Amino acid sequence: MRTFLIIYALLIFAVVSIAGFRGSKTRNTPIEIFPDMDHQAKFHPQGANTLFRDGRDDRPKPEFTVARGTKLNQKEVFSEDFEDATIGDRPLLEGRNDDGSFYDGFPFDPSYELIELGRQRYDIHCTVCHGAVGDGAGITRNYGIAATSYHSDRIRDMPDGEIYDIIVNGKGTMFGLGHNLDLRERWAIVLYVRALQRSQLADKSDLPSAKLSELGL
Ligand code: HEC
């Protein structure tokens, strides 16, 4: 009984001392058992600074700085007659028509070079989950992420703009990858996804005769 009372008293003491003073304010410096990184030399927004001649913490942007990820040409952006031709181009920027429905088409001239760019970016950004041929058998499958296969009628019939939108904003459990890709790269991936879909439906008649004899068909 005595031991129990002692333990009980200690418990009450512990609860009161840990929880009891939470939320109360004090002007005294708190006891810091683990200071972590609470105190460090740093710049504050709109703070004063003796190091710089203008006395400000905020540093003005160096000339020719462009926000990350836009891949805009720095020299062009700062020239007086710069005009961003893509502004307002919803199909190109969002993969949507002006009425909000998905745009079905390709805003660049498709070329082999663009497919190659798509293949390269696809291998970097999509293969891990969707697999090299887009059948959903990426390495992440072993860890429980089942990415959709592109080889179903539903995805084959999907407007190009919808695939573009999925790349940029993600869908369901897939996160968007727009921040890693510029406009051309995103559309190049759409093109490559189409090429993958076509590759899985190809038959003998798609091959040039030289290839056919090479394969002994
Ligand atoms: C981290 C893993 C991961 C990466 C990387 C990834 N995806 Fe996905 N993707 C998924 C998953 C998971 C789904 C299924 C999402 C769902 O249905 O909730 C999916 C679904 C899709 C779909 C089908 C959506 C639908 O309507 O069913 C398409 C198309 C697609 N991804 C394209 C891409 C492309 C193109 C890339 C590369 C730019 C990419 N994904 C990168 C995991 C990924």
Choose one of 117, 130, 139 to mutate for the ligand 1 pocket test, by most ligand atoms within 8 angstroms of C-beta.
Answer: 130
- Among protein residues, the one with the nearest Cα to ligand 1's atom 39 is 126
Listed as ranges, residues in the chain with pLDDT below 50 are none
DSSP at 170: E
- Among protein residues, the one with the nearest Cα to ligand 1's atom 12 is 147
- Among protein residues, the one with the nearest Cα to ligand 1's atom 29 is 163
pLDDT in tens, 194-210: 999 999 998 888 888 89
CA 193 to chain centroid, in Å, comes to 18
Q: What is the pLDDT of residue 69?
A: 57
Q: What is the pLDDT of residue 125?
A: 96
Q: What is the pLDDT of residue 68?
A: 63
The CATH number of domain 91-205, selected from 3.40.50.300, 3.30.465.10, 1.10.760.10, 3.30.70.2190: 1.10.760.10
**What values do phi and psi take at 147, rounded to 5?**
-80, 145
Choose one of 129, 153, 157, 180 to mutate for the ligand 1 pocket test, by most ligand atoms within 8 angstroms of C-beta.
Answer: 129
Q: What is the pLDDT of residue 116?
A: 97
- DSSP symbols for 4-34: HHHHHHHHHHHHHHHHTTTT---SSPPP-S-
**CA–CA dist 95, 105 (Å, integer):** 9
- Among protein residues, the one with the nearest Cα to ligand 1's atom 6 is 126
Q: Where are the domains of the chain?
A: 91-205
- Reduced to 3 states (helix: H, G, I; strand: E, B; else coil), residue 130 is helix
